Structure 1
Amino acid sequence: MPLTADVKAELLTVRDPRPAARVAELTTVLRFAGGLHSIAGRVAVEAELDSDRLARRIGRELVEIYGVRPELAHVQGGAGNPGSRVAVRVIDGGETLARQTGLLDQRRRPVRGLPNRLTTGSRADLAAVWRGAFLASGTLTEPGRSAALEIACPTGEAAMALVGAAHRIGIAAKAREVRGAPRVVVREGEGIRAMLTEMGARRAAQEWDQLRQRREVRAGVNRLVNFDDANLRRSAQAAVAACARVERALEILGDTVPEHLREAGELRLAHRDASLDELGHHADPPLTKDAVAGRIRRLLAMADKKAETDGVPGTESAVPGGVED
């Protein structure tokens, strides 16, 4: 997804100097891209990432913040993450790192969601949480009916923690399940733009918003064109139906039709595409559109009454199939 790649590339240039924000981003990446594993009876911290650049960043942060030098290895992605990926592993000192980041609680139990101190931190910490989650497992789709900023989550508890962090920033996000896998989604256009900006992808936010506005303008123009086309089709169908009924009325009534009604009917047939107002201007002397409409209405009613008396098809029978009266 080009948009997703662009956002991640920009986020990788964001480096918040505040220690708490760096810890929030790093811990969230580790939680959303992998988590804790048991290797040879020892607790290991592992994250599978979709780029060498992100893996190097995480490795550097682990060294600088916790003094831990991880292993980096290329692995084949699974069904949900096809293609080559880079695993960042900490085996020696993995349990200590898990405790320091909050991925293990004080009783050595894995944290199901996110450490509480991350989701109740400052606005910068909350933005770092979302930045880490997007770098680990986020996607952004193009503006439109199905536009979404979406994060694949390791657990339902992690999804709810991410939703809570978004709400504290003031952005509406929802947790949902897709084929049994928990996800967090921001769908509203302004919310997507705001979240991209909060995470630090300001250029991507501006470009996405401009694309959204262009599409909304284009959609509005298309709706107007379709509306005009629909009106034209309805007008054309109404004209065809009216002329067909008038022709049949004159045929039914023959010489018995009153002269002023005949003139109104012939006026309709002579100017098939004209509006009632335009027909009135063509009359001699000129008539109002209400007068023209009234005479045509009486002509059709008189013809339909005679047709019923004579047992013959009325004016409606002359309207072609598929044409609305």
Structure 2
Amino acid sequence: MALTADVKAELMRMRDPRPAARVAEVTTILRFAGGLHSIAGRMAVEAELDSEALARRVARDLVELYGVRPELAVVQGSGGRNGGTGYVVRVIDGGETLARQTGLLDQRRRPVRGLPNRLTTGSRPDLAAIWRGAFLAAGSLTDPGRSAALEISCPSSEAAMALVGAAHRIGIASKAREVRGVPRVVVREGEAIRESLLEMGAATTAEEWDQLRQRREVRAGVNRLVNFDDANLRRSAQAAVAACARVERALEILGDGVPGHLREAGDLRLAHRDASLDELGHHADPPLTKDAVAGRIRRLLAMADKKAEQDGIPGTESAVPLGADD
């Protein structure tokens, strides 16, 4: 919630002086935070917002752009959009005229299901204003990570598709989906989230979010390497324990019948338990290649297992401690 509040606070500080962008923003807020209602037989336009500052901004824009006089009301408890206090901006006198002017009503007096076409086909700043209004009305941003997302809850699937179309025109990769019956537009990829914030006008939050994302990615990469190294060391240690246990059992089974060169390889393995095959070869006199050492130990174990089978006694595998060969 802290990130969401930071984005909204920064977006509210941004004031695009162009009337077309202001119209796109406030119309989108009205569409995504409320809509059209009939009150005492008259059509009313209203929006329920989670911030008093945003409600006052919307009311001021309606006065300056359309000359209407909105009512401001507080909705307590469960009436709020987020289960807390909500702030309602409502226009009753001149509501139908406002709905027509904003494009929330079409020429046949039918409510627009998506967004007014003249908004979604506007200029790049107008499309950015649409996204800014949608986020202010119903947006959220989560921390960077696997489930990082910039999401906007939409009043209808048509509104969601209109928002996706606007995003596509300004180069933002977004998808419309339905979560628990609520249409949403979601931006998930890290760079796309950063670009979305920049386009809307939240440059400071975009930079902070991206720095946090990069730090977490570096930390995750380090953790993966550490875990990988730990796993390799653990497997190497288990393999060394298993190899030494089998060699000890092989020498025990064969006794004095061990050929000299195979005994030498076995003794090297037991004398240098943590050494690699290549290192064992360097300890031999004369030095051996790692393939020669591996071959001699392999033949030592095979010879011992064959004799154990003939004698009806446990072979070299029986000496491996439980879990050492995992």
Same fold (TM over 0.5): yes
User: Is contact 2:50-2:81 (8 Å) kept?
Assistant: no
Aligned partner of 1:33: which letter? A
Q: CA deviation at 1:292?
A: 1.1
TM-score, length of structure 1 as denominator length: 0.98
Question: 2:89 is matched with which residue?
Answer: 88
Alignment pair present for 1:58 and 2:58: yes
In the alignment, the residues of structure 2 paired with residue 311 and residue 41 of structure 1 have an alpha-carbon distance, to the nearest angstrom, of 99
Match for residue 127 of structure 1? 128
Residue aligning to 2:170: 169
Aligned to 1:207: 208
Aligned equivalents of 1:286 and 1:245: distance in 2? 23
Question: What is the CA–CA distance in structure 1 between the aligned matches of 2:202 and 2:215, rounded to whole Å?
Answer: 20
- Which residue of 2 is the match for residue 33 of structure 1? 33
- Quick check: 1:301 aligned with 2:302? yes
Listed as ranges, the gaps of 5+ residues in structure 2 are: none
The secondary structure found in structure 1 opposite 2:183 is strand
User: Within 1, Cα distance between the matches of 2:311 and 2:123?
Assistant: 88
Between 305-314 and 27-36, report the one with greater CA deviation: 305-314
What code does the residue aligned with 1:273 have?
D
Aligned to 1:287: 288
CA distance in 2, matches of 1:118, 1:272: 74
Higher mean displacement: 214-223 or 308-317: 308-317
Question: In terms of mean alpha carbon deviation, does 273-282 or 173-182 score higher?
Answer: 273-282
Please report the RMSD computed on the Cα atoms of aligned residues, expressed in angstroms: 1.1
The reply on whether 1:268 has 2:269 as its aligned counterpart is yes
Sort the Cα spacing of 1:80 and 1:59 in 2 relative to 1 into closer, same or farther, 3 A.
closer
Deviations for 1:173-207, whole angstroms, at most 9, x for unmatched residues? 00111111110000011100001000000001111
Deviation for aligned residue 1:130: 0.2
Alpha-carbon distance between aligned partners in 2 of 1:72 and 1:55, rounded to the nearest angstrom: 8
Q: How many residues align?
A: 325
Aligned CA distance change for structure 1 residues 193 and 275 (closer, same or farther; 3 Å): same
1:111-165 deviation digits (Å, cap 9, x = unpaired): 1110011111110010000000000000000111000000000111100100110
Counterpart of 2:319 in structure 1 is 318
Structure 1: give runs of 5+ residues left out of the alignment.
none
> What percentage of aligned pairs have identical amino acids?
85
Question: In the alignment, is the contact (CA less than 8 A) between 2:49 and 2:81 conserved in 1?
Answer: no
Structure 2 counterpart of 1:261, which letter? L
In the TM superposition, structure 1's runs of 4+ consecutive aligned residues that sit over 2 Å from their partners are 76-80
1:157 corresponding residue in structure 2? 158
Aligned counterparts of 1:316 and 1:24: Cα–Cα separation in 2: 76
Question: The residue matched to 2:13 in structure 1 has which SS?
Answer: coil
Q: How far did residue 293 of structure 1 move? A: 1.0
Alpha carbons 2:34, 2:46 under 8 Å: kept: yes
Q: What TM-score, normalized to structure 2?
A: 0.98
In structure 2, the partner of 1:42 is: 42
Q: What is the alpha-carbon distance in structure 2 between the residues aligned to residue 276 and residue 80 of structure 1? A: 68
Instruction: For 2:81 and 2:182, locate their aligned partners in 1 and report how far apart those are by CA, in whole Å.
Output: 10
